[in-house]
Structure 1
């Protein structure tokens, strides 16, 4: 091979004098090696020149980028001065901060990623506004676990005190959860005396710090053990002059024990709350379920919720003591103990009842038993101002053939939430007796054969044959066929068809103040939505109707110990509190 005399005009290896052997296993001779070295002199010089140029260009680029960043920062610094948020007056900014506070749950927590603490991390001005806005600091959730060290507890107490001091003189809402049970308390032999004493000492220190603000307590939620409640009682003042709302929960129940003394541990507190209006009792044992004997000013109570199974007689005993009650919520055990005393509650606006069967009843007598028991109870409650009725029944798979609330003042009812197995005729009776309904929710859980049907939707739909449909004031409707039935054979006549639902929504959205519709089908409507129907529904949604139509997913069968869903949901009882659940749902609209 001979070396080219002239420099290469291209760096393409195809033009190289060695092109025929590049990429092969050819072994160059001594002469060829010399020729190679001579041939590469010029390319190496060119490469060195290019590297020098690249270094120079990178230096220039780096300088330009640095200058760009400086100018950009200069501009942004000046633009920030003209930012619209800077023009917001401090009092308006404070109101914005208040609107960002959590609503569910309603107690803010010591979380830097949530209001109000997040406002302390943005800038000096926001921090100053937050610190001088008492409304941001008059509510707090406090958690005191038993394993905190003395130093950690001291820091938590200091933080709690500082938080509440920022609230100025405003009434306080406090959620206090804690206990003195060590995690390994089931093996007390392994707990030293000092370890056993520390949680109790921490609890007393926290309670003492809270009592500095007790005269401003307005709303209190206490979830404590009986031991902690005893400490709370001991360290409390003789009076809580501003407290109007109390919720108590037995933390011992988390460990499989319940208060069993003659009086519940929170009982002494009630006599120190002369202005108490709202009382909620969760998972607390009261001797013989005589809640009406608790030492509070019952005539002051306007709202009560008791999450313990009460007979109708016990419910009436409570209501007899609360003539000015406005809202009630009870879990009721139906059995032989039937109420007969009539109570007149002229201010009762909201009634929430959940019933279950407390004694064996023959299957063929279930319907009559239910009718007799529920009707007997509701007949005893005279309430002309009722606006909200929420009723659920943990009942066997049977159809309730007669609407059981006919004696209630249903004409003025505005909100109705049902979770019970009504037959079509009973549901029709419900529609006819509640003419002024605004919100309706119907959960057909456990009873997939008794959902809202086409005949019901037709009675609610404007048409030439029905110019005055039922529920003319309806704004929100929600129907959740939300349980995985073992028997999937549901006939088309036992579910809401796509056509009837489309006609209902289209007619109501055009002529009435319908705002929202949620439908969760257990199975696809038959027939399924046509393209024309889907187009109508999509247009309704685009025009402002809050519309969600989902088809429930089928549960996976054949669980294995290593299934991704093991431990999250029971095979036939998945979590489905809303339109979406762990197993998901097919979205129609």
Structure 2
């Protein structure tokens, strides 16, 4: 083999030397051509003149000669390239034999494979990512991947579903194949705890094929139920038939379940069992669009550490889908049951006025609560915030669907009791400038501030006096100036410990923003991240004056709307554009 490689290498070197001589040796002059004729040709190249007949004959002869040389060189290059590829193939094969990857122990390779899994979600059933991708490399890797149960302990399952009757056989066939793949996947997981997410894409409920298509999710859910004793984290977004299968799971079937997330996207049943909620180790609950009253769910509320509740609904004979809003008393009841809450998200949409007047809300003590996210809709939450006592709260987010009114609610009183708060998010569409300043005065300890709008975009409207009106942005120059640190007002500026500032709805200028950032970077402050979105064009270059701060680690993200340009072909008929 060594002699073969040496022979190929010698041929490659000899060919390369030949090419060097060919390219570096000046071409001989044709016998019929003189130096004066070459000078004349050079003049033709740099001028716009036309050659006469005699010169044209000499030029065509010269071009034919050079074309023949080029063709010969091309053939030599192809031959050399083939020889090089043959040598490279031999080198690659032997180099693969000596690669360090082949010398890795079986256990080390398993750990490397496990680190190839996605970190923030479950593994997808695709050959473009682990674990299926790992089995496409070679037979040895396929054997290692199939013998590593932890690689198959997480799975995301999208349920294919047709929307028209002609596609139902194909959809049913794809769903059956997907069901078999899910079963084989989970069987490879051995005895590992499972993390599962299922998302069902369903047809319109009024379609005559809806009951046929819904069975796809129910079939997969029935397969998953066979492995329920190993469920650890499950997330289901499914239709009524699949949801019914889930609710049939008993307490004894889910001894390892710690996190349960359910979104019922279609609901027809009137009654169902909620035994799955009685899992003895259940700590995290996420519920969205659930039927019935959530407070009636049979949960061991004292064990819940993370609670996320969005709009929930159920069906009746008269109305196929009805939202049951989380009332203020129900929200108080949920919080009072969960004494060990660490993280909580609630979307409170309306309130029972009679319940508030008849029964006063007793204080709620949540000593472990560190993160609270509340969305207010169609009600004011001051009675709820007045009774919550969370001395360890570090992150608070508040948003509301209520537009700016004279009697708007401000969480400043609640914020005044949070001495450990580090991160604050406020909804700019519902708070006045005075309320925002009041909230920030009570939170001097925060390091992260987000002033945002629930809807993307810098223009917000309110329906008032039977028409839509543009809301003025409250975050203007005068408000941002209160954040600027000055020597004489260093102790009185808003949020003196600020490290992160985000704002997606504002009317302040680039000059004021630059002044604020300069006053909070370098030795003057500890600002580390700024993210701002404008609905206007840029007026001042921000990055050049902040070059030193960016070099020291400042993350600056300033977005402006793109410049809209009109195409020169705009407005032409499409059939005319085909001729361009």
2:554: which partner in 1? 545
Q: Distance in 1 between matches of 2:447 and 2:139?
A: 47
The C-alpha deviation readout for 1:422-446, integer Å capped at 9, x for no partner, is: 3333222222211221221111563
Matched position secondary structure for 2:545: helix
1:232 pairs with one of 239, 243, 246? 246
Matched position secondary structure for 1:347: coil
CA gap of 1:511–1:386, structure 2 versus 1, over 3 A, is same
The C-alpha deviation readout for 1:276-309, integer Å capped at 9, x for no partner, is: 22111112232xxx32111222222222111123
2:11: which partner in 1? none
1:279: which partner in 2? 285
1:387: which partner in 2? 394
2:230: which partner in 1? 216
8 Å contact kept, 1:502–1:537: no
TM alignment of 1:94-113, pairs within 5 A:
94-104=110-120, 106-113=121-128
1:307 pairs with one of 298, 307, 310? 310
1:451 pairs with one of 465, 471, 475? 475
Q: Distance in 1 between matches of 2:481 and 2:95?
A: 57
2:440: which partner in 1? 431
1:519 pairs with one of 518, 532, 541? 532
1:508 pairs with one of 521, 527, 532? 521
Mean CA deviation greater in 158-167 or 332-341: 332-341
CA RMSD after TM alignment = 4.1
CA gap of 1:401–1:247, structure 2 versus 1, over 3 A, is closer
1:466 is the counterpart of 2:457: no
1:173 is the counterpart of 2:173: no
Matched position secondary structure for 1:430: helix
Q: Distance in 2 between matches of 1:248 and 1:502?
A: 47
1:417: which partner in 2? 425
TM alignment of 1:3-152, pairs within 5 A:
9-10=32-33, 59-80=75-96, 94-104=110-120, 106-146=121-161, 147=168, 151-152=173-174
TM-score under structure 2 normalisation? 0.71
8 Å contact kept, 1:401–1:426: no
8 Å contact kept, 2:250–2:275: no
Matched position secondary structure for 1:316: helix
Matched position secondary structure for 1:417: strand
Shift of 1:344: 1.8
The C-alpha deviation readout for 1:9-37, integer Å capped at 9, x for no partner, is: 1499999xxx977999xxxxxxxxxxxxx
Shift of 1:548: 0.3
CA gap of 1:439–1:130, structure 2 versus 1, over 3 A, is farther
Matched position secondary structure for 1:175: strand
CA gap of 1:185–1:347, structure 2 versus 1, over 3 A, is closer
Shift of 1:374: 2.6
The C-alpha deviation readout for 1:413-472, integer Å capped at 9, x for no partner, is: 111111133333322222221122122111156354211645545445253541675544
Q: Distance in 1 between matches of 2:345 and 2:130?
A: 31
8 Å contact kept, 1:502–1:536: no
1:367: which partner in 2? none
Matched position secondary structure for 1:407: helix
Q: Distance in 2 between matches of 1:125 and 1:469?
A: 63
The aligned length equals: 484
2:349 pairs with one of 333, 353, 361? 333
Which ranges in structure 1 are unaligned for 5 or more consecutive residues?
A: 1-6, 25-38, 253-257, 359-372, 483-493, 564-589
CA gap of 1:523–1:151, structure 2 versus 1, over 3 A, is closer
Q: Distance in 1 between matches of 2:69 and 2:411?
A: 92
CA gap of 1:259–1:51, structure 2 versus 1, over 3 A, is closer
Q: Distance in 1 between matches of 2:436 and 2:537?
A: 22
1:370: which partner in 2? none
8 Å contact kept, 2:520–2:527: no
1:244 is the counterpart of 2:258: yes
Q: Distance in 2 between matches of 1:342 and 1:152?
A: 54
8 Å contact kept, 2:136–2:142: yes
Which ranges in structure 2 are unaligned for 5 or more consecutive residues?
A: 1-29, 42-50, 162-167, 312-324, 461-470, 573-580
Q: Distance in 2 between matches of 1:425 and 1:94?
A: 58
8 Å contact kept, 1:400–1:426: no
TM-score under structure 1 normalisation? 0.70
CA gap of 1:548–1:126, structure 2 versus 1, over 3 A, is farther
Q: Distance in 1 between matches of 2:511 and 2:103?
A: 52
